[in-house]
Chain A
């Protein structure tokens, strides 16, 4: 059949389902703006509830100022939204504590979390704040995996934690900084002890 003889079918364009995507605008605390799809936002319980409560239309999203996320910086928020976009539409796991779950880190997530420890801890904090269950699961798993095969000294470096001795020294230094007279009294006391004298009292 030639092209000229092909039957002409009237198409009702309104009947064809058009995927209607809405992109919300968010702003980090360092004024970086992000556009995130509605479906991706569903991964975050906090943001999902927020946009539902706001009831924005497509026009509102464009015309009103971006939704400010005060506690998270741009670098971290970028990672969070990258994760949400990649996992949009996926079911959100429910942790009822009845069955111990084995968390596996997908390749994309592993690459995303191939970052320095400081940023990783910010990412975990953001996942907790925004209530992104699966991101929190994988990031916590990553931190737990980091502990494997390390000595306590190495763990201190990984988690940026002080040893008991360092902790006590820092506490002492903080106390002394607050009350410089305390140090003078202590020195005076030590001096008297050296000279064989009794304590102040």
Chain B
């Protein structure tokens, strides 16, 4: 397909579809990374949990806000990505990559897609117990979440570093109207704020 046509198709795709298109093949992923198609992303919430990281995206579509969830789960030999809610059961196994790397690459694509000011950016932390309350028990078993202890501190540190690295790499500052951050240790936040403010 000609370049112009590909750009046009990507322009018509919503951000959620683009995230999935990035997993189709390397060629598509490279093209998306290169063209950075704009989205109507309004808000983003990251939930950092012991064995997974969730990205909740609020996307404006035909005047209405749609919320989509992407969950990056630690898998015994790689990464599993969960689209939508647990109940819709759309899991994909994504290569042997670490789930945090897959999350970071998607996060970059998501943040790159927002040209103007993002309305809200939230970072929340959730324990395994909170996660259990959010989703039903069968899903927890099916995804082996009970067996998988994970490392909460490592995930949180990785997420903070990812966002910090992304902000550092940008030529233009990333604009957000409202930031909410839930964090356990103050040092992590201070380090992150220091990076963000220093660069922008």
Q: Which residues does A use to contact B, with CB under 8 Å?
A: 100, 102-103, 121, 124-125, 128, 136-137, 140-141, 143-145, 147-148, 150-153, 155-156, 159, 161-164, 167
Contacts and interface: CB of A to CB of B under 8 A. Distances in A.
Contacts of A159: 24
Contact of B25 (A128, A150, A161): A161
Given A103-B12, A136-B8, A167-B27, A147 B1 contact: no
A140 B20 contact: no
Contact of B17 (A102, A147, A161): A147
A102 B12 CA distance: 9
B103 to A, nearest CB: 16
Contacts of B62: 102
B30 to A, nearest CB: 11
A128 B23 CA distance: 27
Interface of B: 1-2, 4-5, 8-14, 17, 20-21, 23-28, 38, 40, 62, 83, 90, 92, 95
Contact of A161 (B4, B20, B24): B24
A12 to B, nearest CB: 52
A159 B2 CA distance: 14
Contact of A156 (B1, B12, B25, B38): B25
Contacts of B26: 164, 167
Contacts of A167: 25-27
Given A148-B17, A151-B20, A140 B9 contact: yes
B13 A121 contact: no
Contact of B4 (A102, A128, A155): A128
12 contacts: A124-B1, A136-B8, A140-B9, A141-B12, A147-B21, A151-B92, A152-B21, A152-B24, A153-B92, A161-B27, A162-B25, A163-B24
Given A144-B12, A152-B20, A163 B25 contact: yes
List the 6 closest pairs (A to B, CB-CB), nearest first: A144-B12, A152-B23, A147-B17, A140-B8, A144-B13, A140-B9
A148 B184 CA distance: 37
Contacts of A144: 9-13, 17
A163 to B, nearest CB: 6
Contact of B20 (A100, A102, A121, A147): A147
Given A125-B1, A152-B23, A161-B27, 14 more contacts: A121-B1, A124-B5, A125-B2, A136-B8, A140-B8, A144-B11, A144-B13, A148-B14, A148-B17, A151-B90, A155-B24, A156-B25, A161-B28, A164-B25
A46 to B, nearest CB: 14
Contacts of B14: 148
A148 B61 CA distance: 13
B79 to A, nearest CB: 13
Most buried by B among A102, A136, A147, A156: A147
Contacts of B21: 147, 152, 155
Q: Residue among B2, B4, B5 with the most chain A CB within 10 A? A: B5
Contacts of A148: 14, 17
